[in-house]
């Protein structure tokens, strides 16, 4: 069974631009969560989607948004990029809202210059 | 709010030696507890999890962890470390309902000496 797939793996953007990251969960998994990993702040929860609905949201500014499609694939968008948005963005999938076991993708490394 | 503390930022052990990585959590109810491992530039791989039942849980790659409610701890152990175990290890806690997202500790970097 294929794992969680994140695209692209690496991305370089300029301050002020926007970026969209994609995540395809494990087949059959309906819940997708996003995390940001930085050396200074560690791993922080961004948001969770289940059945195309945002179920939970972390403490990030409104520039960070996401969505989930009917096939459970998810995208996250960051607008007006700042240097501090440089991070590894990790997507995790799980079966559903009552199942907490999460499987992670390899991440997208975003560099803002 | 839930939180996790990993008191050791960096641990160095010799190959073949035993290993224990410490994790303390804070959560009001019975938590779901996890250990993940991350190699450089990679995502997180689940080593083991505790949801309920037997407090000693076995995971992949020969790892085990013990849940101790009285100490709010979930320490990771391995009897004999291999060079390939060098990586960063994260302990995480999750609750239920609105608190079901993973809250991670700051991680412990493991170096294995030959």
Q: What pLDDT is attached to residue A98? A: 65
pLDDT digits (tens, 9 = 90+) for A65-103: 999 999 999 999 999 999 999 999 999 999 876 656 889
The whole-angstrom distance between A32's CA and the closest CA on chain B is 11
Query: Which of A1-5, A26-30, B40-44, B61-65: highest mean pLDDT?
Result: B61-65
Report chain B residues whose CB lies below 8 A from the CB of A94: none
Which of A47, A24, A2, A8 minimizes the C-alpha distance to A93?
A: A24
Is pLDDT of B99 > 70? no
| Rounded Cα–Cα distance for residues B98 and B96 (Å) | 6
Question: What pLDDT was estimated at residue A33?
Answer: 95
Q: Does the beta carbon of A5 lie under 8 angstroms from any beta carbon of chain B? A: no
Residue A14, pLDDT score: 98
User: How many CA atoms lie within 13 Å of A53's alpha carbon, on the beta-carbon side?
Assistant: 4
In chain A, which residue's Cα lies nearest the Cα of B90? A43
Cross-strand bridge partners of residue B77: B20, B64
CB proximity list for A84: less than 8 A, separation 6 or greater: A112
User: Which pLDDT value is given to residue A60?
Assistant: 96
Q: Which of A23-27, B9-13, B85-89, B99-103 has the lowest mean pLDDT?
A: B99-103
Q: How remote is the C-alpha of B64 from its chain's centroid?
A: 9
Question: Is the pLDDT higher at A38 or at B40?
Answer: A38
Q: Give the integer Cα–Cα distance in Å for A25 and A13.
A: 25
Averaged pLDDT, A26-53: 94
Q: Does B3 touch chain A (CB under 8 A)?
A: no
Q: Do the beta carbons of residue B19 and residue B82 sit within 8 Å?
A: no
pLDDT confidence of B27, banded at 50, 70, 90? Answer: confident
Q: Smallest Cβ distance to B101: which of A48, A103, A104?
A: A48
User: d(Cα A74, Cα A49) in Å, to the nearest integer?
Assistant: 8
Residue written as token pair 């009001």: B28
Residue of A nearest to B42 (CA): A106
Q: How far apart are CA B87 and CA B90, in angstroms?
A: 10
């Amino acid at each position: 069974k294929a794992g969680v797939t994140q695209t692209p793996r690496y991305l370089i953007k300029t301050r002020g631009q926007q970026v969209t990251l994609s995540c395809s969960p494990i087949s059959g998994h309906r819940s997708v969560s996003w995390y940001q990993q930085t050396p200074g702040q560690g791993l922080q929860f961004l948001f969770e989607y289940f059945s195309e609905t945002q179920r939970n949201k972390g403490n990030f500014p409104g520039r960070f948004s996401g969505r989930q499609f009917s096939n459970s694939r998810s995208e996250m968008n960051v607008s007006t990029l700042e240097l501090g948005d440089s991070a590894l963005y990790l997507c995790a999938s799980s079966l559903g809202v009552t199942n907490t076991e999460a499987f992670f993708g390899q991440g997208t490394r975003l560099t803002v210059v | 709010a839930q939180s996790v503390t990993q008191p050791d930022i960096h641990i160095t052990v010799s190959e073949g030696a035993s290993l224990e990585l410490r994790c303390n959590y804070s959560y009001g109810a019975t938590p779901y507890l996890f250990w993940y491992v991350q190699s450089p530039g990679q995502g997180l791989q689940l080593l083991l999890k505790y949801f309920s039942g037997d407090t000693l849980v076995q995971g992949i790659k020969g790892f085990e962890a013990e849940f101790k409610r009285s100490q709010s701890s979930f320490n990771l152990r391995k009897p004999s470390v291999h060079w390939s175990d060098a990586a960063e290890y994260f302990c995480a806690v999750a609750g239920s309902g609105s608190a079901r997202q993973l809250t991670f500790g700051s991680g412990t970097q493991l170096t294995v000496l030959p």
